Amino acid sequence: MEFKTLVFYFLSAILLFAALRVITARNPVHAALFLILSFFSAGCIWALLRAEFLAIAIVLIYVGAVMVLFLFVVMMLNINVDRLREGFWRYLPLGALVGILMVLEMAFILGGDYFSKLQPHAPQMAAGYSNAKAVGRLIYTDFVYPFELASVVLLVAIVAAIAIAYRGPKKTKYTPPGKQLRVHADDRLRVLKMQAEKDE
Amino acid sequence: MTLAELSFKLPDLLPAGAEIFLLTMACAILLIDLFVKDKERTPTFALTQFTLVVCAAFTVWLSSGDATPTQTFSGMYVADFFGAFLKLTLYIVVCVVLFYARTYMLERAPAAKGEFYSLALFATLGMMVMISANHFLVIYLGLEILSLSLYAMVALQRDSVRATEAAMKYFILGALASGLLLYGMSMIYGATGTLDITRVANALGGHGTGHLLTQTGLTKTIHDAAISANAAAGGNKMVLILGLVFLVAGLGFKLGVVPFHMWIPDVYHGAPTGVTLFIGTAPKLAAFAVVMRLLVGGLATLAGDWQQMLIILAVLSLAIGNLAAIAQTNIKRMLAYSTISHMGFMLLGLVSAVGAGVDDAAIKAYSASMFYVITYVLTSAGAFGMILLLSRSGFESEELDDFKGLNKRSPWFAAIMMILMFSMAGIPFFVGFFAKFAVLQAVVEAGRVWLAVLAVVFSLIGAFYYLRVIKLMYFDPPEDATPIEVPGEIRLLISLNALAVALFGIFPQQLMAMCFTTLQLSL
């Protein structure tokens, strides 16, 4: 066995273990941390396959930005784990059956002739070859149209989120001093004439 | 890297001029709306309609010259007659829909009056991108622009629990459908080594995968080499079929055909009617275009396989759509199930092209489907428009009983609704009849008489619930005597809409011939 293969199996084992722990961990913070671990292992596997740009991107974007944000959200929301877990055992047999069937089907297709023949064509790159350069070059030339469209998707997402969530300026307790000074007692105070109670 | 290494020619932007203009205007309107003081948002509305008119003028001008399809953006964008015709229909439909929905949305979503128009424009952009796409990635991105805008539009009425629930359901199921579609695309990429629809067709057609390699990166070349080595062994057939199944499932979700129809009744019912009107009309055109581009344009060699899948979807949709619609008491839900059955009917035309080739008979079958979808969109815009007109602030006219005695309250609106219902039911001399007739003709010519018989039987069952609306309007006493107040221009527009349904029913040949010619020039 080549050393590279050994590293691959080692990283894959960590990835699978971490992915499994994401859905089995009791504590949501632990689950989020395991998700970070699984992303990181996936990044390492990509680096092993010489896709270093993807590896850096997943570490920077998913591990660095998305998951940290996610972790904050998980910590701030007090999630009731036990309620989420209701019915876990009841649904497990059906879920497991569907999962196993899907794995078998995929194995059937992917294990077939086609994909095993495709593997030996891994390209041999020159020493100075840079993935980031190649990706960047394609994005700004051949793929400029989908690249711009992706930016429209993001813009729509921003507009949609604001349109749904924005509820006007927040009414804080702050009062402008000018307004405060113009207040008269009559505006705020009402004097009621009441009959005095007589002490017996 | 030096500049010389970047052997890149700036793409021709002119064919995509309408999209670029629409995007610019959508962003501008988004900003201008911030400074509009008008409570009714008239400037925003006027600018939106102006944008659509300019886009329409541009599309007409662009397609008035050369008839050959032109590609730009490295072959990812295609401008042809098929696309231009569908886009023109799209502009008209969106324009009419915005007129109908205006007052209703002002009352129902007061906090996001301006955003409604921007989101509608972005959705239109997504549909235009889908209609002109010649690349799997572009189809997906167009679909996401459309879907994201639609999810948000459903949720605009944010104080309504029903609308929020509908938006949530739509979002989750839509995301799942996008996932299925993407998975199918990735499988087809695995089998053919390309995402470009023209190149996919070439790779599957077997005649030389190499000659279109002018603008490719390194990986594609390697893949293509592997493909040619593998295609001979026939090893990729199974991968292709797997991808095709996922692709058809994803498209089925977007078209809303059984068994991927679960979201339709809930979303149609829960969304504010103005948004239901939008969802129920224009996106059908885009979904049809994507089905044509993907299945007929890209995967024509697999026609035998996807025709079988679509037949199953079509028969199930006809059965479940028509039967479930009978049980509905809410007219929005009823029209939702009717949409499912209509989309099933439309699919019948797509499966009726014999073999994989594109001959006149095949084009006739496809143009029958195109005619069906265009006329359906026209009719359903009118039907949802009627529901909007009868609603007023604080009252939703969405139960079947709300249509009781409409003839007594307003004979003219009752007549309009009658025309629309007759057309949907497929009663002769309204446009729906000719749409059904053309599709059935194609089905019979393809030698599937049993399928035609099934379609007719289910259409007859379906006629019941359309005729029930007419019975309620003409033979039942009104429960609610509030006069119907409709602004003059809307009254005129809906009258024109119904008139178009009636006129295309008397003279269907022109539109039918136009569908045929555009497809002939584009396929």
Map tokens 């990283």 to a residue.
Answer: A11
Question: Could you say which of A112, A149, A161 has the minimum Cβ distance to residue B141?
Answer: A149
What is the mean pLDDT of the segment spanning B383-409? Answer: 86
Q: Do A143 and B233 touch (CB under 8 A)?
A: no
More confident site: A13 or B234: A13
Please check whether residue B317 is in contact with residue B160, taking contact to mean a CB–CB distance below 8 angstroms.
Answer: no
The mean pLDDT value of chain B amounts to 87
What is the mean pLDDT of the segment spanning B15-42? Answer: 91
Q: How far is CA B400 from CA B225, B333, B342, B468, in A?
A: 61, 10, 20, 9
Q: How confident is residue A116, by pLDDT bands cut at 50, 70 and 90? A: low
Q: Which ranges of B11-80 does DSSP label H, i.e. alpha helix?
A: 17-32, 42-63
Question: Could you say which of A134, A152, A168 has the minimum Cβ distance to residue B217?
Answer: A134
Closest CA to B44 of B106, B90, B104: B106
Best mean pLDDT range from A127-131, A133-137, A174-178: A133-137
Question: Could you say which of B115, B129, B236 has the minimum Cβ distance to residue A149?
Answer: B129
pLDDT value of residue B214: 32
Neighbours of B27 (CB within 10 A): 16
* Residue B225 pLDDT greater than 60, yes or no: no
Contacts B217 to A, Cβ<8 Å: 134, 138, 142
Q: Do A114 and B235 touch (CB under 8 A)?
A: yes
B3: three-class secondary structure by DSSP: coil
B-chain residue closest to A140, CA distance: B8
pLDDT value of residue B83: 92
Q: Which ranges of chain A does DSSP label H, i.e. alpha helix?
A: 3-24, 28-48, 52-57, 67-76, 81-84, 88-110, 113-118, 131-140, 144-165, 177-181, 185-188
Cα B470 from chain centre: 27
Q: How confident is residue B252, by pLDDT bands cut at 50, 70 and 90? A: very high
* Residue A80 pLDDT greater than 50, yes or no: yes
Please check whether residue B499 is in contact with residue B431, taking contact to mean a CB–CB distance below 8 angstroms.
Answer: no
Alpha-carbon span B285 to B376, nearest angstrom: 10
Q: Do B6 and A141 touch (CB under 8 A)?
A: yes
Please check whether residue A11 is in contact with residue A41, taking contact to mean a CB–CB distance below 8 angstroms.
Answer: yes
The total number of residues written for chain A in this structure: 200
One-letter amino acid for residue B44 of the chain: T
Indicate the burial class of B122 (C-beta count within 10 angstroms; 0-12, 13-18, 19 or more). Answer: buried
Q: Give me the total of CB pairs closer than 8 Å, taking one residue from chain A and one from chain B.
A: 112
pLDDT value of residue B298: 87
Indicate the burial class of B406 (C-beta count within 10 angstroms; 0-12, 13-18, 19 or more). Answer: buried
Spatial CB neighbours of A168, under 8 Å, sequence gap ≥ 6: B111
pLDDT value of residue A122: 59
Please check whether residue B359 is in contact with residue B428, taking contact to mean a CB–CB distance below 8 angstroms.
Answer: no
pLDDT value of residue B366: 92
pLDDT value of residue B215: 33
What is the mean pLDDT of the segment spanning B426-448? Answer: 91
**Residues 235-274, chain B: which have Cβ within 8 Å of A?**
235-236, 238-239, 242
Spatial CB neighbours of B268, under 8 Å, sequence gap ≥ 6: B276, B279, B280, B332, B333, B335, B336, B339
What is the mean pLDDT of the segment spanning B10-39? Answer: 91
pLDDT value of residue B461: 92
| A156/chain B closest Cα distance in angstroms | 7
Q: How confident is residue B150, by pLDDT bands cut at 50, 70 and 90? A: very high
| B156/chain A closest Cα distance in angstroms | 6
Alpha-carbon span B173 to B251, nearest angstrom: 13
Q: Can you point out the beta strands (E) in B387-469?
A: none
Alpha-carbon span B335 to B264, nearest angstrom: 10
Q: Do A113 and B138 touch (CB under 8 A)?
A: no
Q: Can you point out the beta strands (E) in B240-390?
A: none
What is the mean pLDDT of the segment spanning B113-128? Answer: 93
* Residue B482 pLDDT greater than 90, yes or no: no
Q: How far is CA B186 from CA B76, B136, B171, B246, in A?
A: 17, 9, 22, 10
B195: three-class secondary structure by DSSP: coil
Convert the pLDDT of each residue in B446-476 to its tens digit.
Answer: 889 999 999 999 999 999 999 999 999 999 8
Contacts A164 to B, Cβ<8 Å: 112, 152, 155-156, 158
A-chain residue closest to B191, CA distance: A114
Convert the pLDDT of each residue in B310-330 to its tens digit.
Answer: 999 999 999 999 999 999 999
Map tokens 């479930």 to a residue.
Answer: B324
What is the mean pLDDT of the segment spanning B80-105? Answer: 93
Q: Do B238 and A112 touch (CB under 8 A)?
A: yes
pLDDT value of residue A171: 66
pLDDT value of residue A167: 75
User: Which segment of A19-23, B311-315, B358-362, B446-450 scores lowest on mean pLDDT?
Assistant: B358-362
User: Which segment of A106-120, B106-120, B180-194 scores lowest on mean pLDDT?
Assistant: A106-120
Please check whether residue B309 is in contact with residue B432, taking contact to mean a CB–CB distance below 8 angstroms.
Answer: no
pLDDT value of residue B233: 43
The domain A1-86: what is its CATH number? Answer: 1.20.120.1200
Please check whether residue B401 is in contact with residue B473, taking contact to mean a CB–CB distance below 8 angstroms.
Answer: no
pLDDT value of residue B213: 32
What is the mean pLDDT of the segment spanning B336-360? Answer: 86
More confident site: B365 or B523: B365
Alpha-carbon span B111 to B95, nearest angstrom: 22
* Residue B372 pLDDT greater than 70, yes or no: yes
Q: How confident is residue B219, by pLDDT bands cut at 50, 70 and 90? A: very low
* Residue B121 pLDDT greater than 60, yes or no: yes
What is the mean pLDDT of the segment spanning A136-160? Answer: 92
In this prediction the ipTM stands at 0.88
What is the mean pLDDT of the segment spanning A145-162? Answer: 94
